Structure 1
């Protein structure tokens, strides 16, 4: 493992942040997500919570994992501190998803081009505009929705892909395998442990996938109305139709026309529940629910774990999401 605070400080200051880092470049411990000292063989930096969970499970005791997004923070809006830039530069592996966090993408490109591991290189990312609309014979509404989402994607620069890949357990298992191989390259002595851990994680994810398939097989409704379009992978995998009020970025503002379109769909298709989430304001979803007589419930996009999350780790939140879906969609 690369070590030495002097190299980390040099990397942070070399990132053009000397002034802002005046205090941070003189300290050897404390906040901002820099990796702390440990006996682990490999240092791993992750961009968002689900990747942190995966790295901890695959790496086990042999890795020291640092997540760049603080609990409760919106990952799309992440800005890195000088110390975090240094952590990226010093890590043996930087696991991220291109297009999700521009600040992380930039730091990897500039500071860790050889150690970055992009999940988009391990699994195929879906196009953001696919599956976000609905095909219920309303061609004009469908076209309007597509134009709106294209506008949102352009504004928030997700590169035309949906980065919320962790909401598909099968893709998460593939990322686990790819991460195990990269960790094995960084620490050959523990390669067998990494691969064995990845197999265990994959088995757990397979069980989760089976629970979703069984739990969502017979439902009265398959319309998944969400505050923003974070659930495209989940919808695709389990034959649901995602209808997002906002685009892939939760901070994007839907147009009045888009809100009216969603309200019309809710009424026409007897949608009973509009899903909000833990890290974004529920106000718009609540407005549509009040207008249509629907209720709201939380469907967590798992961008972070807080005291408002319906679980304390990736599997428990995914399980809570499944129960919320089954209730909202009236599944047998």
Structure 2
């Protein structure tokens, strides 16, 4: 009798392992996107994170385990070469057989042009006119009716060819005074609208690769979108008491967050995290802080704190530390929401 029980137990374990083996292996570039994918895969599998916490997406050296994750991946979700230019070659070499999805290139992604100059002139960033390039929402599954035949038609429609090896072969290396790649600001994950759009795209891509679990992927995406609505409400409640306050950021990475919550920065100490600001730019920022009574200067954990001290010299502005990547957070499903909450909380406290 016991032998029979052991045999049945072993068989169940084997069947369970076979079911899990059918779930795609997924590699993701940065922690906030990894968090979105983890939400959609919840209960089925865990994506692999390529750029580890504390790493700089623009320049990163792959560890053997991260190279193996790319090599084993069935799907790769990444922002695109504008954020992680080095990863295009890694994907082309290691993930030749994977389905590769660049979120910056995805239908429905809101893209904003880089802002030039140290000081950002006040102008409308309302959703009607702020977006330099807003694409159609080809993967918009707001209804979430889980009619999977219909869902797969949408998946197929948006499934043209996500292997962007050829696309990136001729990618221009533009230089916008520190903007190393592309015309658009690549920090698009700080738009909660983009995150909501990508949740559907992620569910569609996973469902195409793993149709048996499509219901779970789309159910998870729907739940995550509901949580995104709650997140927006929470962040607006955090920011409402300090609206009208003025702030300067360390580098111009936050305009997607600023636009989403209608709370615009007055300037940036550095245009990019790839270059140090010139003395003239620092002087320009200092002048703006003094003349306009800027309330807050926001630093970032991985950059030179001495620059903040220099900028604050002779002003009455306070300072706080913000992080667009969640370097101090545990990677996983909850990280994305915490990144957005932390940005709002730090800004409110600084103001």
Question: Is this a same-fold pair by TM over 0.5?
Answer: yes
**Cα separation, partners in 2 of 1:131 and 1:301, compared to 1, 3 Å:** farther
TM-score (norm 2): 0.71
Report matched runs for 1:225-240 at 5 Å. Answer: 225-240=248-263
1:57 aligns with 2:57: no
TM-score (norm 1): 0.75
Aligned twin of 2:277 = 254
CA-to-aligned-CA distance 1:248-271 (integer Å, 9 cap, x gap)? 3x2411011110111111112211
Alignment: residue pair count: 274
Contact 1:89 1:111 in 2 (8 A): yes
1:44 aligns with 2:26: yes
The partner residue of 1:121 within 105, 108, 111 is 105
Larger radius of gyration: 2
Q: RMSD in angstroms over aligned alpha carbons?
A: 2.6
Question: Which structure exhibits the higher relative contact order, with contacts defined as CA atoms closer than 8 Å and separated by 6 or more residues?
Answer: 2
Separation of aligned partners in 2, 1:69 and 1:184: 25
Aligned twin of 2:139 = none
The unaligned stretches of length 5 or more in structure 2 are 1-19, 124-174
Aligned twin of 1:80 = 62
Contact 1:47 1:95 in 2 (8 A): yes
Separation of aligned partners in 1, 2:46 and 2:239: 37
Separation of aligned partners in 1, 2:214 and 2:66: 27
The partner residue of 1:216 within 232, 239, 259 is 239
Aligned twin of 1:319 = 341
Report matched runs for 1:98-247 at 5 Å. Answer: 98=80, 99-112=82-95, 115-122=99-106, 123-129=109-115, 133-135=119-121, 150-153=176-179, 157-217=180-240, 219=242, 221-242=244-265, 243-247=267-271
Deviation (angstroms), 1:131: 9.8
Separation of aligned partners in 1, 2:94 and 2:118: 35
Deviation (angstroms), 1:207: 1.3
Contact 1:44 1:92 in 2 (8 A): yes
| Greater mean deviation of Cα atoms: 182-191 or 113-122 | 113-122
